Homo-oligomer: A and B are copies of this chain.
Amino acid sequence: MVPHFTTALTGPLLALERRFLENVPAIEQWLRGEWQEHTPPFYASVDLRNAGFKLAPVDTNLFPGGFNNLNPAFLPLCVQAAQSAVEKLCPEAKRLLLVPENHTRNQFYLQNVAQLAAILRMTGLHVRIGSLLPEIEQPTPIALPDGHELLLEPLRRLGAESRRLGLDGFDPCAVLLNNDLSAGVPALLENLHEQWVLPPLHAGWHTRRKSRHFTAYREVAHAFAAELGIDPWLIDPEFGICGQVDFHARTGEECLASNVDMVLTRIRAKYREYGIEAKPFVIVKADAGTYGMGIMTVHDASEVKALNRRQRNKMAVGKEGLQVTEVIIQEGVPTVETVDEGSAEPVVYMIDRYVVGGFYRVNASRGIDENLNAPGMHFKPLAFETGCSLPDADQGPDAPPNRFYAYGVVARLALLAASLELERSAPPPSADGL
C-alpha cells in the first residue's frame, strides 16, 4: 500500500532543508500569520524541482488532477482538510457539483475525479458530476479500471432566470471546478450569482498567467527568505516574459532571445556565486497553459532563433489547440532526484491551507533538465511515503520526513502566491459571481 523508494532521496544534502528544519516554529508561525490575511485556494498542486542547491516551484495548478496518485494512507488527511475547507465555505453545504475536464477517455484523469468525489463525499456532501461535454445528453456511466464507475451527467441551468447551475434533480450550493477553463469560460458557467464557484472563474487559464503567479511568488519568497535569513534565489526561479510571440510568423524572436539571455546571465551569476558546476538552462513555455504542452528546454539564446518548423509548431499550440503568443522564460532547475533511473520531480497536493500528500512524477525517458509532465501521461507517479508535516530534528535534513517537510513548505509558499495572484486578478465585486 505504501510504496517505498530510496533512490529519490539520494540527492546532495541540502543546506536549505537544514535551515527549514532548524526554523520549523518560525516557518509555521509565519505561514499562520499569512493565512490570516489571505484566503487559500480550495485546492492546488505544485510541481517542484529540487536541484540540491535550490528548491523551487515551477508550476502551480489550481485544478489539480492527480488525487488518485496520492498515497492511500493520506486519504484521512484529505478528508480532514476538505472538511475544513467546506466548513469555511458554507457550513450548511449539502450538495456539491463537480465539473471535470472533458477527458472521457483518460482513465488516469477519471480516477482523479472519482477520488476527488470520494474525498468530498466523506466530508458529508452529496457530490454529483456535471459534464461540459455536449455529447453527454443524459446520465452516462463511465467504467473505471478499479471496477467502479463514474456517472457523468449533463449540466443544466436551474431556477428563475436560470441563475443557477445544476443537474436534473440536483440543485447544488457549490460548484467545484476541476476544469482549468483553458478554452475560456463556457456559457454554462457564466453569470452564476447564487452559488459558490470554486476556484473562482478567474483562476482558469483563460485568465491566469504563469508570470503573474511567479511575480506574486517572488514577493512571497522574498518576504519568507527575509524571515529566515536566506537568499531568496534558493527558492525562487528567475523568469522573464514575452507578450507578443508568434512562432509561426517568427515574430517576437528577439524578445525571446533577449529574455533567454537575461535569465541565463542571472543564473550564471548565481551559479558562480555558489560555485555550482551545472550548466544553466531555461524553460520556455506558454504563459497561460498547462498539461506540459508547448514547453522547450533552452541552453543558449541562439537556440530560439534557429527553431525548425517542427519545433515552432510544437511551441505554437497549447492546450485545446489554442495559439500561444505569451511566453514565460523560466530558470531551469535541474532535478537531482531519480527513481529507478528516471528523472523525478515532486508534486505536492494541498487542500485549503493544508498539505495533504504528494507524489513523484517519474519520467525515465527525460533528462534532468527537461519538463517531466509530458503529454500523454508518460510519467509514472510514485506516492510520497510519509507526510509533509512531520519534520524530525533527530534525523538528517535529507531524511524523507524532513525532505518532504521542505517540499511542503515551498509548496505552501506557492499556494500563498496563488492566493495573492487570485486576489489581484479578481474582477470587481459587482461583476463577480457572488
Counting every copy of the chain, the complex holds 2
User: Does A53 sit at the interface, judged by CB under 8 A?
Assistant: no
User: Does A390 sit at the interface, judged by CB under 8 A?
Assistant: yes
Query: Which residue from B26, B36, B391 sits with its C-beta under 8 Å from A91?
Result: B36
CB of A80 within 8 A of CB of B83, answer no
B residues near A76, Cβ cutoff 8 Å: 74, 77, 387-390
- Chain A residues touching B, majority SS: helix
CB of A123 within 8 A of CB of B28, answer yes
CB of A80 within 8 A of CB of B79, answer no
CB of A92 within 8 A of CB of B33, answer yes
User: Does A254 sit at the interface, judged by CB under 8 A?
Assistant: no
User: Does A399 sit at the interface, judged by CB under 8 A?
Assistant: no
B residues near A162, Cβ cutoff 8 Å: none
Quick one: given A25-B125, A73-B73, A76-B74, are A32 and B91 in contact (CB under 8 Å)? yes
B residues near A121, Cβ cutoff 8 Å: 24-25
User: Does A217 sit at the interface, judged by CB under 8 A?
Assistant: no
User: Does A122 sit at the interface, judged by CB under 8 A?
Assistant: yes
User: Does A75 sit at the interface, judged by CB under 8 A?
Assistant: yes
Whose C-beta in chain B lies nearest to the C-beta of A94?
Answer: B29
User: Does A27 sit at the interface, judged by CB under 8 A?
Assistant: yes
B residues near A35, Cβ cutoff 8 Å: 87, 91
How far apart sit A92 and B94, CA to CA, in the bound complex (Å)?
Answer: 33
Quick one: given A76-B390, A389-B76, A391-B122, are A83 and B36 in contact (CB under 8 Å)? no
CB of B87 within 8 A of CB of A32, answer yes
Query: Closest Cβ of chain B: how far from A31's Cβ, in Å?
Result: 8
Query: Which residue from B83, B125, B354 sits with its C-beta under 8 Å from A83?
Result: B354
User: Does A427 sit at the interface, judged by CB under 8 A?
Assistant: no
Query: Closest Cβ of chain B: how far from A281's Cβ, in Å?
Result: 36
User: Does A81 sit at the interface, judged by CB under 8 A?
Assistant: yes
B residues near A12, Cβ cutoff 8 Å: none
Chain A 388-433 interface residues, beta-carbon cutoff 8 Å to B = 388-391, 394
Residue of A80, A126, A387, A391 ringed by the most chain B CB atoms within 10 A:
A80
B residues near A24, Cβ cutoff 8 Å: 121-122, 124
Whose C-beta in chain B lies nearest to the C-beta of A82?
Answer: B389
Quick one: given A76-B77, A80-B77, are A124 and B25 in contact (CB under 8 Å)? yes
Query: Closest Cβ of chain B: how far from A229's Cβ, in Å?
Result: 17
User: Does A84 sit at the interface, judged by CB under 8 A?
Assistant: yes
Whose C-beta in chain B lies nearest to the C-beta of A405?
Answer: B122
B residues near A87, Cβ cutoff 8 Å: 32, 35
Residue of A29, A76, A84, A122 ringed by the most chain B CB atoms within 10 A:
A76
How far apart sit A28 and B79, CA to CA, in the bound complex (Å)?
Answer: 12
Query: Closest Cβ of chain B: how far from A407's Cβ, in Å?
Result: 14
CB of A25 within 8 A of CB of B80, answer no
CB of B124 within 8 A of CB of A28, answer yes
Query: Which residue from B122, B387, B391 sits with its C-beta under 8 Å from A389?
Result: B122
B residues near A389, Cβ cutoff 8 Å: 76, 79-80, 83, 122
CB of A32 within 8 A of CB of B74, answer no
Query: Closest Cβ of chain B: how far from A119's Cβ, in Å?
Result: 10
B residues near A126, Cβ cutoff 8 Å: 25
Residue-wise, chain A 157-189 has the 8 Å CB interface mask toward B (1 for contact) of 000000000000000000000000000000000
CB of B124 within 8 A of CB of A29, answer yes
Query: Which residue from B73, B83, B124 sits with its C-beta under 8 Å from A27?
Result: B124
Query: Closest Cβ of chain B: how far from A415's Cβ, in Å?
Result: 14
17 contacts between A and B (CB under 8 A): A24-B122, A25-B125, A25-B126, A26-B124, A29-B93, A29-B94, A32-B83, A32-B86, A32-B92, A32-B93, A35-B87, A76-B388, A77-B77, A79-B389, A80-B80, A122-B391, A148-B394
19 further contact pairs, Cβ within 8 A, besides A29-B92, A32-B87, A76-B390: A24-B121, A24-B124, A27-B124, A28-B125, A29-B93, A29-B124, A32-B93, A33-B91, A33-B92, A76-B77, A76-B387, A77-B77, A77-B80, A80-B354, A80-B389, A83-B389, A122-B390, A122-B391, A148-B394
Counting from the closest, the 8 A-B pairs by CB-CB distance are: A28-B124, A76-B387, A79-B389, A25-B124, A76-B389, A36-B91, A29-B124, A32-B91
